[in-house]
Structure 1
Amino acid sequence: MSKKTVVIGASLKPSRYSNIAINRLADYNHETVAIGLREGEVRGVVIDTELKPYKNIDTVTLYLNPERQKEYYNYIMGLSPKRVIFNPGTENPEFYDLLKAEGIDYEVACTLVLLSTNQY
């Protein structure tokens, strides 16, 4: 079952985990959209630099450090995702509390591991 996912902190650089995640999400046939600092495309997924009002989002997966996340708090909560994944290095207790208050689940996990172990 496809889980529409927003990758925030997407990179065009193949060595970046966000880039690898976009490729793996495509491998597992999850509809994916992405937001990054530079426009481009990875595996057919357009990386937007604008915060677009995507609909029917299952998962937001973060590749931004906690300080950089702050400017995205309202945007992410406004997408009303079912969950937010905090990948290694993105852990943010302040944001966990805000998500909990909005009834949005979160996981401190690695998107790549969740995909490879069929736990996504």
Structure 2
Amino acid sequence: MANLPTRTSPHPGRRLALGDALAIVLFAVIGLASHREALSLGGVVRNALPILVVWFLVAPFLRTYSAPSWRNLLYTWAIAVSAGVWLRFMVLGHPFGIGFFVFWVIALAFTLILLLAWRLLARALLRRRA
């Protein structure tokens, strides 16, 4: 029983999931700001939700949170961001031309930077606590 998570020490996977989701939302916010679009809930949802949906669909299968590792994170990132960008273009009815590939590459690069920064920060904080 001593190994069960308590309210004061939740399973680390929950914190990682929350941080990953916030990193993806931050990507959407930065994207809106960089294009001088109004920062709105609708804009953030439109840009972040497709990636988040795929992320949390594949994460259990890749054990992203039940067995956190850099490899599991990278697999989840590659699949979820790629499929999420595709889903976003499908839902919005955008054509799959050069714009798709440019956005895909930018999304891969910037989400990776944000996710790695968050995970490195989380790792440092966990080590500091120990």
TM-score, normalised relative to structure 2 = 0.24
Bigger fraction of residues in strand: 1
TM-score, normalised relative to structure 1 = 0.25
Report the structure number with the largest CA radius of gyration. Answer: 2
Bigger fraction of residues in helix: 2
